[in-house]
Structure 1
């Protein structure tokens, strides 16, 4: 059964909000590790990279939630076509459709 974006928006919003919280919690935890003598068991370079990934996750989910509130969620940033709902269910913060993403 195919779900339209209108039917799935609330579920996608809830998923994005959960992901935002998870990324925020992870960022908080990793930041605490930077202050520990043993860096929470991570080498400094790995810890720095994990923090970057968490920051990117916070930013991507925040941008997706902003697009949702502006009414532009689910529209490809590059071609302007609708991003298939199935893609958004897999990657709710997607900014591009698969063909545009593959073109880089």
Structure 2
């Protein structure tokens, strides 16, 4: 994300991250629509299936992040309940875990 979120209040940061996630969700939805259109080329079927799976995974991650925002638990590690640093969320807005927990549990 290109926006510098340092110095922003928590609410401003959350608003910007929500906007970024919403935009990403819309872009991934459009991409999925394009990918699921029948191209008629059986040689591209495997590649297309992989791209569809990746896009669906991205949509699920973004949707989960938006749900956590709505529930008021966004930015809290799902394993240890510690706050996820703003810098991590800036780079990976759909992060569910803090770095130590992510490294421990892959």
What is the TM-score of this pair, normalised by structure 1? 0.89
> For 1:43, what is the secondary structure of its paired residue?
helix
Confirm whether residue 29 of structure 1 aligns to residue 30 of structure 2: no
For residues 20 and 31 of structure 2, what CA distance do their matches in structure 1 show?
A: 16
Moved over 6 A (4+): none
For structure 1, list consecutive stretches of 5 or more residues without a partner in the other structure.
none
- Residue 5 of structure 1 deviates from its aligned partner by 3.4
For residues 15 and 34 of structure 2, what CA distance do their matches in structure 1 show?
A: 29
The 5 Å alignment of 1:54-93 reads 54-93=55-94
- The structure in which a higher percent of residues are helix is 1
- Residue 36 of structure 1 deviates from its aligned partner by 2.0
What is the TM-score of this pair, normalised by structure 2? 0.87
For structure 2, list consecutive stretches of 5 or more residues without a partner in the other structure.
1-5
For residues 4 and 98 of structure 1, what CA distance do their matches in structure 2 show?
A: 22
1:21-68 deviation line (CA, Å, top 9, x unaligned): 111011000001xx22126xx621111110000001111101100000
Aligned length: 100
